[in-house]
Amino acid sequence: MKVADMSKEIVILNGPNLNLLGKREPHIYGSDTLADVERNCAAIAAQSGYTIKLQQSNSEGAIVDMIHAARETACAIVINPAAYTHTSVAILDALSTFEGPVIEVHISNTHKREEFRHHSYVSKRAEGVIMGCGIQGYEFGVMRVIALTSN
Ligand code: DHK
């Protein structure tokens, strides 16, 4: 049995500019920060005996590396690839090497926004997609992966 099969770690990955969550375009992304996301998700995860590892990078290759690392430690990935959603075959391919569930999260409803935000490469791999729910979307993502991985 692989490590990840026994794991109760959920990796939450965040793409470029989300380090500025809370300061960046708050009319679109709100005023809560990634620290708030981590705290809220950890509280939900703990109720079912899961842990959260939240990471963020502005670099595509670093996110690919984080996904590879998650292969060894995590039972599931919740990912907001941010702008890489719409451009990155590399992140899609990395996610395709991960065997557990993947949930894609967007804080905003990208379908209400510019045309170039309507297509997602990551959706080709994701079991579910949550968008337009603000940072609560991450919590819904965590709830979903718990439902998919607990028995
Ligand atoms: C975040 C971003 O940074 C954008 O590039 C995406 C996504 C949407 C979000 O809504 O969380 O287009």
Alpha helix ranges (H) inside the chain:
3-6, 26-29, 34-47, 60-73, 89-96, 136-149
Which residue from 13, 137, 15 is spatially nearest to 87, judged by alpha carbons? 15
Q: Which two tokens stand for residue 1?
A: 């049995």
Ligand 1 pocket residue status of 83, Cβ below 6 Å: yes
Q: Is residue 121 among the annotated active site residues?
A: no
Cα 103 to Cα 70: distance, rounded to the nearest angstrom: 14
pLDDT in tens, 88-136: 999 999 999 999 999 999 999 999 999 999 999 999 999 999 999 999 9
C-alpha of residue 131 to centroid of ligand 1, in Å: 10
pLDDT of residue 3: 52
Q: Give residue 5's pLDDT.
A: 63
Has this prediction a pTM greater than 0.75? yes
pLDDT digits (tens, 9 = 90+) for 2-61: 556 679 999 999 999 999 999 999 999 999 999 999 999 999 999 999 999 999 999 999
Of all protein residues, the one whose alpha carbon is nearest to atom 3 of ligand 1 is: 82
Task: Please check the confidence at residue 1 and state whether its pLDDT lies above 70.
Answer: no
3-state SS assignment for residue 121: coil
* Interatomic CA distance for residues 56 and 13, integer angstroms: 6
